[in-house]
Chains A and B, each alone.
Chain A
Amino acid sequence: MTRYIQQRLLLMLPTILLTTLVVFLMLQLIPGDPASIYLGENQATPERLEQIREQLGLNRPLYVQYGDFVLKAVRGDLGRSVQTNRPVIQEITDRLPNTIILAVLSMALAMIFGITLGMLAGLNQNSWLDAILMLAALAGVSIPVFWLGLLLILLFAVQLGWLPATGQGGWNSLIMPAVTLAALSTATLARLVRASMIEVLNQDYLQTSRAKGLPQVTIVVRHALPNALIPIVTVIGLQFGNLLSGAVITETVFARSGLGKLVVDSIQNKDLPTVQGVILVLATIYVVVNFVVDLSYAVIDPRIRLQ
Chain B
Amino acid sequence: MAMVESKALVQASERVTQPGRPARSAALRRLRRNRAAVGGLVVFSLIVVMAVAAPIIAPSNPTRVNPIDALQPPSPWYWMGTDAFGRQNLSRVIWGSQTSVQIGFVAVTISVVGGAILGLFAGYHRGWIDLLVMRLTDVMLAFPGILLALVIIAVLGRNLTSAMIAVGISAMPTYIRVVRSSVLSVRGNEYVIAAQVIGCGGNRILLRHILPNVIAPVIVLATLGIPSAIIAGASLSFLGLGVQPPTADWGEMLSSGRNQFALAPWLSIFPGLAIVITVLSINLFGDGLRDALDPRQQR
What residues make up the interface of A, taking CB atoms closer than 8 Å to B? 14-16, 18-19, 21-23, 26, 29-30, 138-139, 141-147, 150-151, 153-154, 158, 184, 188, 191-192, 231, 234-235, 238, 240-242, 244-246, 248-249, 252-253, 263-264, 267-268, 272, 275, 279, 282-283, 286-287
A54 and B11 alpha carbons, distance in the complex (Å): 51
Q: Are A267 and B262 in contact (CB under 8 A)?
A: no
A153 and B258 alpha carbons, distance in the complex (Å): 11
Q: Are B268 and A154 in contact (CB under 8 A)?
A: yes
Q: A267's contact among B5, B6, B241, B287, by CB below 8 Å, is which?
A: B241
Q: B143 to chain A: which residues have CB within 8 Å? A: 19, 22, 279, 282-283, 286
| Complex: chain A residue closest to B263, CB-CB | A158
Given contacts A138-B283, A146-B238, 11 further A-B contacts (CB under 8 A): A15-B138, A22-B151, A141-B283, A145-B1, A146-B234, A154-B265, A242-B3, A248-B239, A267-B153, A275-B150, A283-B143
A303 and B154 alpha carbons, distance in the complex (Å): 43
18 A-B residue pairings within 8 Å (CB atoms): A15-B138, A18-B138, A22-B139, A23-B151, A26-B155, A138-B284, A144-B231, A144-B276, A144-B279, A150-B258, A192-B5, A242-B144, A264-B240, A267-B150, A267-B241, A268-B158, A283-B144, A286-B143
Q: Are B135 and A18 in contact (CB under 8 A)?
A: yes
Q: Is B217 an interface residue (CB 8 A)?
A: no
| Complex: chain A residue closest to B287, CB-CB | A138
Tally of chain B residues near chain A (CB < 8 A): 47
| Complex: chain A residue closest to B282, CB-CB | A142
Q: Is B295 an interface residue (CB 8 A)?
A: no
A235 and B234 alpha carbons, distance in the complex (Å): 25
Q: Are B268 and A150 in contact (CB under 8 A)?
A: yes
Q: Are A142 and B142 in contact (CB under 8 A)?
A: no
Q: Are B1 and A245 in contact (CB under 8 A)?
A: yes
Q: A21 to chain B: which residues have CB within 8 Å? A: 139
Q: B7 to chain A: which residues have CB within 8 Å? A: 234-235, 238
Known: A141-B283, A154-B265, A264-B241. A244 touches B144 (CB 8 A): yes
A249 and B239 alpha carbons, distance in the complex (Å): 7
A61 and B51 alpha carbons, distance in the complex (Å): 50
What residues make up the interface of B, taking CB atoms closer than 8 Å to A? 1, 3-8, 11, 135, 138-139, 142-147, 150-151, 153-155, 158, 227, 231, 234-235, 238-241, 251, 254, 258, 261-262, 265, 268-269, 272, 275-276, 279-280, 283-284, 287
Q: Are B146 and A245 in contact (CB under 8 A)?
A: yes
Q: Are A267 and B158 in contact (CB under 8 A)?
A: yes
Q: A244 to chain B: which residues have CB within 8 Å? A: 144-145, 147
Q: B150's contact among A144, A184, A279, by CB below 8 Å, is which?
A: A279
Known: A15-B139, A184-B4, A188-B4. A146 touches B235 (CB 8 A): yes
A286 and B139 alpha carbons, distance in the complex (Å): 12
Q: Are A246 and B135 in contact (CB under 8 A)?
A: no
Q: Are A242 and B153 in contact (CB under 8 A)?
A: no
| Chain B proximity of A85: nearest CB distance (Å) | 20
Interface centre among A141, A158, A240 (most CB of B within 10 A): A141
Q: A151 to chain B: which residues have CB within 8 Å? A: 268-269, 272
A158 and B262 alpha carbons, distance in the complex (Å): 6
| Complex: chain B residue closest to A187, CB-CB | B4
| Chain A proximity of B30: nearest CB distance (Å) | 17
Q: Are A29 and B139 in contact (CB under 8 A)?
A: no
Q: Are A144 and B234 in contact (CB under 8 A)?
A: yes
Q: Are B239 and A192 in contact (CB under 8 A)?
A: no
Q: Are A245 and B151 in contact (CB under 8 A)?
A: no
Q: Are B135 and A29 in contact (CB under 8 A)?
A: no
Known: A147-B275, A184-B1, A264-B241. A248 touches B151 (CB 8 A): no
Q: Are A235 and B8 in contact (CB under 8 A)?
A: yes
A151 and B270 alpha carbons, distance in the complex (Å): 11
Interface centre among B135, B146, B158 (most CB of A within 10 A): B146
| Complex: chain B residue closest to A28, CB-CB | B155
Q: A22 to chain B: which residues have CB within 8 Å? A: 139, 143, 151
Q: B147 to chain A: which residues have CB within 8 Å? A: 244-245, 248, 279, 282-283
Q: Are B144 and A14 in contact (CB under 8 A)?
A: no
| Chain B proximity of A294: nearest CB distance (Å) | 13
Q: Are B151 and A150 in contact (CB under 8 A)?
A: no
| Chain B proximity of A237: nearest CB distance (Å) | 9
A10 and B28 alpha carbons, distance in the complex (Å): 46
| Chain B proximity of A100: nearest CB distance (Å) | 15
A141 and B90 alpha carbons, distance in the complex (Å): 25
A245 and B170 alpha carbons, distance in the complex (Å): 13
A62 and B114 alpha carbons, distance in the complex (Å): 28
Q: A246 to chain B: which residues have CB within 8 Å? A: 1, 145-146
Q: B11 to chain A: which residues have CB within 8 Å? A: 231
A246 and B238 alpha carbons, distance in the complex (Å): 13
Q: Are B268 and A245 in contact (CB under 8 A)?
A: no
Q: B138 to chain A: which residues have CB within 8 Å? A: 15, 18
| Complex: chain A residue closest to B271, CB-CB | A147
A252 and B287 alpha carbons, distance in the complex (Å): 31
